[in-house]
Amino acid sequence: MRIAIAGATGNIGALTVSALERQGHDVVRISRSLGVDLLTGAGLDDALRGVDAVVDATNSSATDRDEAVQHFGTTAANLLAAEQRAGVRHHVLLSIVGIHGVEGNPHYAGKREQERLVAAGPVPWTVVPVTQFHDFAAMVAGWTEQDGVALIAPLLVQPIAPADVADVLAEVAIGDPQTRHVDVAGPETQDLVDMARRTHQARGQEVKLVPTWSSVFGPSMAGNVLLPGDDARIAPTTFDAWLAAEAAATASRAAEPATA
């Protein structure tokens, strides 16, 4: 099959490209750095020529609610319209578990808009709600880190390995449209503060973590709101196994001879 990955240079997009190419599919890469911009539509019609299915794994760095809704809404609308023109038969959206139960988060408002447009749109679709990735905790700590101190909320999550997310997206993309896929999650619940501390340790970074509900994530995200439903599909890679790979990658980088 010919499958386009929007967000092909990103964390999940790049792994999804690899997963599909390993299976022998013809993959089209879409991102601004590769000359295709979903916000303006530039390059999109050319990129989608002959494409059977599209996976949307793009992201937005907007921290303001209106900006996030505008970004995800515009990119989704442009992508879906171009898919209709190109005769694409399946649109797959990477979404997040729990976004319908948390009102105040700007990113989640943007993702809800993306889901709304996909479900109301002209192309047969599958929305795949996924829990936080194994690298989420360190990324969140990085948002506020200053002089070795970071603020982080003690969220309860059931994180998943990025490579497992990519495998699910690749499998869904080559199959028939399913509308809403069941929640996809990792095998164990974790506390985000503990995940960040252990990730920093595995990467050889020293960061003092200050647990708080008064920074990026507020109390509306406390409790079970981010956990998957009872019928969730559970991916195999544990956080411990992912951490061991992070530690090994850090050790191997440290052992590399310095280049001029």
Ligand X SMILES: NC(=O)c1ccc[n+]([C@@H]2O[C@H](COP(=O)([O-])OP(=O)(O)OC[C@H]3O[C@@H](n4cnc5c(N)ncnc54)[C@H](OP(=O)(O)O)[C@@H]3O)[C@@H](O)[C@H]2O)c1
Q: Residue 253: beta bridge partners?
A: none
Q: How far is the CB of 107 from ligand X (least distance, A)?
A: 6
Tokens 């439903």 identify what position? 229
Q: How far is the CB of 30 from ligand X (least distance, A)?
A: 6
For ligand X, which residue has the nearest CB? 10
Q: How far is the CB of 87 from ligand X (least distance, A)?
A: 21
Q: How far is the CB of 122 from ligand X (least distance, A)?
A: 20
C-alpha–C-alpha distance, residues 22 and 30, integer Å: 18
Nearer to ligand X, 61 or 259 (CB): 61
Residue 256 is classified by DSSP as S
* Residue 190 Cα distances to 125, 156, 161, 193, 206, angstroms: 31, 6, 13, 9, 21
> Which residues contribute to the site for ligand X (CB under 6 A)?
6-13, 30-33, 36-39, 57-59, 75, 94, 96, 111, 130, 132-133, 136
* Residue 192 Cα distances to 132, 133, 146, 156, angstroms: 10, 11, 19, 6
**169 class by beta-carbon count within 10 Å (0-12 exposed, 13-18 middle, 19+ buried):** buried
Nearer to ligand X, 28 or 38 (CB): 38
Nearer to ligand X, 94 or 170 (CB): 94
- Coil, strand or helix at 108: helix
Nearer to ligand X, 168 or 256 (CB): 168
Nearer to ligand X, 58 or 158 (CB): 58
Q: How far is the CB of 37 from ligand X (least distance, A)?
A: 5
